[in-house]
Every structure is written in C-alpha cells, then in structure tokens.
C-alpha cells in the first residue's frame, strides 16, 4: 500500500517541511513540501533514507563496560537502560539535589520537551549549543532592539541589497531562504559579501570584500561613519525610534573608509562605492547580523553594528527589510500548548552563573561551556549528571580534551542521539533515538510573516530498537515519579492536548502539512511601532541602558586583531552544503559526495612552505597535530587557513568517517572558556596553528 505523509526533515536543524511517499516500510519518494518549497530540497534532505538504512548508528541502548571513551559497550534493553539512568539520577538528586543535573538539546521549536523534563526534575540547568553559534547575534539584537534574533524575519526576496558579513547563506543553506536570495538577484538586486575567503555565496556577489580575518567590526564601523557623513540614513526613522544617535556619530568619527580600507586590506574607493549603492537602495537594504557569529573577540559588537546599520537604513517593518516575526496572537489566534507550562518553574540559581554572575546573558538556555567550569570547580555547586539530546558538545565546542576532564567529575553521562556522537562515545549510556523519519515530534509554532504550526509525522516504523524522544522522556519521568508532568501515553494524546486551545485539529494539517494563522503576510503599522522594542526606553537603543548598567560600553573602541606569528595561520572554519556539521559525515550518500575536508591555504603562502595542491600538511596546535590535504587558492586571506567543520571523527564504528579529514575544534587548545564577555559567544576563530609540509608525503617507496 502506497501512502503519502507530510512530515519535517531532520537532517539539519533547518527542519524543512517535506512530503514522503512510502510503500511497505520503505521510502519511495521524498521531496520538499510543494506548498512552501515547490519540491526543493538540499542534498542532505535526499540522504535521509540512507541514514535510516545505515547500520553504523546505534541499534539498541548501550551501557559502557570499560573506561569512559574506551568504546566497549554492552547492548541492553530499553527497560534496563531507563532503570539504570533513573537509579543514577535518583542517587545524584539524593546526594546533591536536582540542580546537579543538566540537560542540553538543540535549540529551536522542539526544545520544549527536554526543557520540561529538566524543570520537572527540579533543575534550572537546561542549555543548548548556542554559545558556539548565535549567542552574540542574539544578545546584540536584545541590546539594540530589546528583542532577540528570532524576533525578526529578513524579507530577502523583496530587498534591493543584501549585505552579508561571513554569512555564507548559499552554502550553509536553508532552501527557502536560498530561493529568496536567488529571486532577489534575478530581479536585479545587489549582494555584498564580506569574508576572509571566497565562497559559494561570494561568487554570486555584486561586491566582494576579502578582508583581513577579524576586521568585520572595522568595516561595519566605517559604513556607519560614511553613511552618517553623507547623511544617507533615514533621519525620520532614527529621530522617531532610536536613542543615542549623536553618541554614535561621535564614536565613529575616526572610523573612516580610508581607515577601514587600511585595516581590512581593501580599497577605500570600493567602500565609498558600496556606501553610494546602500544610500540609493535604502530603505530596502538588509544587513544580515550574522548567523553563527561566535568567531572573534568583538563579534558581539560587529553584530551590534550590523543591526545598527539596519536601524540607520530605516528598514524595520517594511517589505524588503527586517519584519517582526508574528505569533498566533498577532493573527487573533492561540498557539499550541507547551509542556513547560505543566512543569514547575525552577527556583534554584543556574550552575552556569547566567542571571547571577553574568547578568548580561539571557537566562533561557544559558551558556553550555560555563557548566564545564561548574563541573571542574564545584562552584556555584557541583554538577554531577549530564544528558545531551541530539547535541554533540565535543564536535560543537573547542578542546574536547578539556571537556572530558571536566566531565570526569560527573557520575552520569547520557547521550540521546540518532547516531554515534563523539560525546556519546565518551558517555556512560547511549540511548538511540529513532531517526526523524521514524519518529513523531511535538507540534511547534513557527513565528513569521505568516505564523504557522508545524509537525513531524512518523513516516516509517523504526528499523532498529530505537524510540522517539517523547517515549524516552516519558519512560524516565515515570521511573522518577514525574508522570504528572508528562501525562500523555502517546504522541497523539500529546498533540490533541497541544492543539486544544488553538481551535485546530490534526485534520487541519492534512491539506498542506502545516496550519497557517494568516493568508497574507501580517505587518504592523510602521507609524505605530512604539512598544514593539522591549528596551527600557521602548526605542532602538543605539546606546543601551542595560549594557551601561552592567558596566559594558555600547560601542567598544576598535582594536586590531593580532597577526599570526611567522609560520602560523589563523584557523577559520565553515560549512559545506553537503554536510550538517558533524552529523552527516558518516551518511553513506553524503560521505560519498564529500568524504573528507581539506585545508585551504593561500597559494603564495603555500609556495613559501613548498606545499603543492594535494600535498599532505601537518596542522599543529599545542600537542595536537592533524594531517590534512592542502587545497591551494588565491582567494583566501594569507593570514588564514580554512577547513570545513565536522570532520576528523574518532568513532571506530563509523567506518566511513573514522579519522577522515581534520577536526578544527580539537585544534582549539585552551579555547573552551575564551568567550565574548558581552555576547557570550565563544571566540572560535582565535586559534593560530602552525602549518608545514607533512612527512607523510612519500618521497620514496620502501616496499618489496
């Protein structure tokens, strides 16, 4: 019997809506939802069924037999594994209190379940990966607009000019967004791309600036300077909706195009030309404030400057600009219920110090890397149990060795994931979650110009002894006497409860695979934006009262990034459209397309080292040496070397990915706590590595 199922991709965290055809228990066709994506899907999306079929993912719960990381596992039943974890959790709670347990999951629409479980335990310590991703951008947005990054939708399709600082939008891709960019370019829109290297995005650009690594903030400040000098900003908007403009004008006085050109290694005339274009294209100009912008020690301020440029363009709440993401309430509707509403709000202080020691950071998910401090020192209190759900901190954060040392203070380490993660390999228990095609997920609200409810339907019956996340959490909750917070026996019961206040039923999802709250984009009256900016003053605070209160400047005087010593290079990393970080490297189809990464080296620098295209090079940081193939290019700044993140995995059961390529995060020795003090993001591009031609390049063959 052939059936067609609406669902949601899970190959990366973009979570594209999909439609899947199934015969028996096999996928026969899988495409992007025609109603939103007109069928479009990326390479990763098509490789989903290959993930399901892959036997190199955990097939049943596993409990560690040898030492941590030794890779000796005992296959056990779900009953046994859940009993084992519940017992350990009870012991930790008895000895240290529930706050000694922390949990982390991917951010986004499905974090509710893990967060609710953490709160039900009585712990405030829910966290996610974001300190290695968008925290700087999020906090920069809050400091300026009073609302975080998810509060805005970028109406790229209707803009005239999209400016991207290292946001490699066409490679680190979201299919719906990519189509907006291509539509905008087809209509004659302009794209300005700033990066230390040329990328799949940059090749489509109208203007390309190859800057010295770490100088984004300089260029952004110069743009502010020149736009103010030319009086090219939206004076009416600035007057009406912002505070602190005069201080900003004073602050940027010395940051001219001439100055930035020298600092960034670009031409002043090109900056002037860009400024002219921006003023002509205003207000339909979007400065992308960054996606993953945990890079340099001033990334928070770079993002703040980019968002400030949006305010100067007056692009808020207009087509082709930044539009407030609308919720169900903006359309006169009600959103689905959350499980966190059922669990008690935790009262204990967070172990990561967020909200107490670090008042500048939003409490929500806190900052994962700071929990390692608590584990290592026992301050403010011991953290003894950790559960990571579909999150691999060893691939995500710098210096896995330092992370392991902190984790050695834990009595219980649990990894819940669809595949073997590097963290899972070091854990005490691996609970295999069903892949996204084999599980249901909670209903979630996706805010936007047209807010909608989205859901993931199980497409296939699990092909191994795995469970969906609700069943795993419910199983643990039952054993811990927390059943009242998870009263639903099946996901179907949970969905019905979630949908109750919305007035919609599951049947409403059948037509398109999602439920929309509005037929047309919902825009606020641009003349009545008062109250939309949740800053103390209710305006866009170019000079932030809160930052001031916490003792941080709203604008940090620019400091030039360090030049790498001779023979060393700044290690930068990025994404390929073929892989979702480390998750997909062992996927048979995606591995075939891209089995390993390379090290991009500037051609002239490689010449100095005697390295030719395809040679092996040693990449050295502290006592860590990695060997990787060199790729030579003229289009990377000579101070930088670049690689695709996610490779260099060391899990023997992932035979395709095992030791293939190089891991950037393992080379980031001593960087685990190198954090932007204002934005909370880790400074992931502040590692210098030594590069040399490797002795592994065989000069002679000594064989029979």
Residues that bind another protein (CB under 8 A): 29-32, 38-47, 49-50, 170-171, 173, 175, 178-179, 182, 185-186, 198, 200, 202-208, 270, 577-578, 588-593, 633-635
Considering beta carbons, is residue 47 or 92 the nearer one to another protein? 47
Considering beta carbons, is residue 19 or 479 the nearer one to another protein? 19
Give the contacts of 133 (CB within 8 A, at least 6 positions apart). 291, 292, 294, 681
Considering beta carbons, is residue 152 or 642 the nearer one to another protein? 642
Q: Which residue has the tokens 């995060």?
A: 665
- How far is the first Cα of the chain from the last one, in angstroms, to the nearest whole number? 59
Name the minimum Å distance from CB 73 to another protein. Answer: 26
Helical packing angle, 368-377 and 400-407, nearest 10°: 50
Name the minimum Å distance from CB 607 to another protein. Answer: 17
Q: Which residue has the tokens 């891991």?
A: 663
Considering beta carbons, is residue 16 or 140 the nearer one to another protein? 16
Name the minimum Å distance from CB 204 to another protein. Answer: 7
Considering beta carbons, is residue 558 or 642 the nearer one to another protein? 642
Considering beta carbons, is residue 413 or 594 the nearer one to another protein? 594
Considering beta carbons, is residue 257 or 414 the nearer one to another protein? 257
H helix count then E strand count, the chain = 22, 27
Provide the β-strand partners of residue 430.
62, 415
Q: Is the N-terminal amide bond of 387 cis, ω within 30° of 0?
A: no
Name the minimum Å distance from CB 289 to another protein. Answer: 22
Q: Which residue has the tokens 């347990």?
A: 101
Q: Is the N-terminal amide bond of 119 cis, ω within 30° of 0?
A: no
Provide the β-strand partners of residue 64.
73
> Rounded to an integer, what distance in angstroms lies between the CA atom of residue 148 and that of residue 135?
10
Considering beta carbons, is residue 148 or 189 the nearer one to another protein? 189
Name the minimum Å distance from CB 302 to another protein. Answer: 22
Provide the β-strand partners of residue 389.
105, 416
Considering beta carbons, is residue 60 or 206 the nearer one to another protein? 206
- How would you write 424-492 as a 3-class SS string? HHHCCEEEEECCHHHCCCCCEEECECCCEEECCCCCCCCCCCCECHHHHHHHHHHHCCCHHHCCCCCHH
Name the minimum Å distance from CB 170 to another protein. Answer: 4
Name the minimum Å distance from CB 601 to another protein. Answer: 15
Name the minimum Å distance from CB 642 to another protein. Answer: 14
Tell me the HSE value of 141 on the side-chain side, using a 13 A CA sphere: 21
User: Cα separations (Å) of 430 from 92, 120, 659?
Assistant: 19, 22, 21
Considering beta carbons, is residue 42 or 406 the nearer one to another protein? 42
Considering beta carbons, is residue 43 or 453 the nearer one to another protein? 43
Q: Which region holds residue 567: left if phi is over 0, alpha if psi is between -120 and 50, else beta?
A: left
Name the minimum Å distance from CB 212 to another protein. Answer: 17
Q: Residue 353 has which token pair?
A: 């110090």
Provide the β-strand partners of residue 693.
617
Name the minimum Å distance from CB 3 to another protein. Answer: 17
> Rounded to an integer, what distance in angstroms lies between the CA atom of residue 384 and that of residue 432?
22
> Phi and psi of 570, rounded to 5°?
-80, 125
Name the minimum Å distance from CB 611 to another protein. Answer: 18
């Amino acid at each position: 019997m052939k059936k067609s199922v609406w669902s949601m991709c899970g190959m990366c965290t973009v979570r594209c809506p999909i439609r899947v055809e199934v015969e028996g228990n096999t996928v026969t066709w899988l495409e992007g939802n025609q109603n939103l994506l007109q069928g479009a899907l990326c390479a990763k999306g098509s490789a989903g069924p290959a993930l399901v079929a892959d036997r190199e993912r955990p097939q049943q719960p596993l409990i560690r037999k040898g030492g941590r990381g030794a890779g000796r596992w005992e296959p056990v039943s779900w009953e046994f594994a859940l009993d084992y974890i519940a017992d350990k959790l009870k012991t930790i709670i008895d000895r240290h209190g529930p706050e000694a347990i922390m949990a982390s999951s991917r951010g986004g629409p499905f974090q509710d379940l893990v967060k609710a479980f953490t709160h039900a335990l009585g712990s405030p310590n829910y966290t996610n990966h974001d300190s290695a991703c968008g925290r700087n951008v999020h906090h920069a947005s809050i400091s300026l607009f009073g609302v975080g990054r998810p509060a805005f939708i970028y109406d790229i399709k209707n803009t005239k000019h999209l400016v991207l600082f290292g946001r490699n939008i066409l490679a680190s891709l979201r299919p719906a967004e990519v189509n907006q960019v291509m539509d905008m370019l087809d209509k004659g829109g302009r794209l300005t791309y700033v990066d230390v290297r040329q990328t799949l995005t940059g090749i489509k650009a109208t203007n390309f600036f190859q800057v010295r690594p770490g100088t984004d903030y300089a260029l952004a400040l110069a743009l502010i300077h020149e736009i103010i000098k030319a009086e090219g900003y939206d004076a009416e908007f600035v007057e009406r909706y912002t505070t602190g403009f005069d201080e900003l004008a004073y602050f940027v006085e010395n940051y001219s195009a001439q100055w930035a050109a020298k600092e960034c290694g670009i031409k002043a005339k090109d900056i002037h030309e860009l400024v002219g274009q921006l003023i002509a294209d205003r207000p339909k100009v979007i400065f992308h404030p960054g996606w993953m912008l945990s890079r340099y020690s001033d990334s928070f301020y770079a993002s703040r400057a980019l968002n400030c440029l949006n305010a100067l363009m007056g692009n808020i709440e207009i087509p082709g600009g930044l539009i407030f993401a609308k919720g169900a309430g903006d359309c006169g509707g009600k959103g689905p219920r959350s499980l966190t509403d059922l669990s008690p709000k935790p009262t204990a202080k967070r172990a990561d110090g967020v909200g107490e020691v670090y008042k500048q950071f939003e409490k929500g998910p806190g900052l994962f890397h700071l929990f390692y401090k608590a584990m290592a020192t026992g301050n403010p209190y011991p953290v003894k149990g950790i559960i990571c759900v579909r999150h691999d901190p060893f691939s995500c954060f710098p210096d896995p060795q330092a992370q392991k040392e902190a984790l050695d203070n834990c009595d219980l380490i649990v990894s819940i994931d669809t595949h073997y993660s590097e963290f899972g390999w070091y854990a005490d228990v691996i609970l295999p979650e069903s892949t996204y095609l084999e599980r249901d997920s909670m209903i979630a609200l996706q805010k936007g110009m047209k807010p909608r409810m989205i859901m993931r339907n199980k497409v296939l019956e699990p092909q191994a002894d795995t469970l969906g996340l609700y069943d795993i959490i419910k199983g643990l909750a039952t054993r811990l006497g927390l059943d009242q917070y998870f009263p639903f026996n099946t996901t179907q019961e949970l969905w019905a409860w979630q949908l109750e206040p919305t007035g919609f039923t599951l049947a409403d999802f059948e037509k398109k695979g999602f439920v929309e709250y509005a037929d047309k984009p919902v825009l606020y009256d641009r003349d009545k934006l008062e109250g939309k900016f949740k800053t103390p003053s209710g305006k866009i605070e170019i000079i932030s009262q809160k930052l001031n209160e916490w003792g941080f400047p709203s604008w940090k005087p620019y400091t030039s990034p360090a030049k790498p010593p001779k023979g060393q290079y700044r290690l930068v990393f990025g994404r390929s459209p073929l892989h979702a970080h480390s998750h997909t490297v062992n996927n048979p189809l995606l591995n075939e397309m891209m089995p390993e990464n390379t090290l991009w080296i500037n051609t002239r620098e490689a010449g100095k080292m005697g390295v030719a295209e395809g040679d092996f090079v040693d990449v050295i940081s502290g006592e860590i040496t990695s060997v990787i193939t060199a790729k030579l290019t003229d289009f990377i700044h000579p101070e930088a070397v670049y690689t695709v993140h996610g490779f260099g995995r060391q899990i023997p059961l992932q035979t395709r990915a095992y030791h293939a390529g190089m891991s950037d995060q393992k080379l980031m020795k001593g960087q685990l706590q190198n954090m932007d003090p204002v934005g909370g993001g880790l400074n992931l591009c502040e590692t210098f590595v030594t590069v040399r031609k490797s002795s592994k390049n065989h000069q002679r063959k000594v064989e029979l």
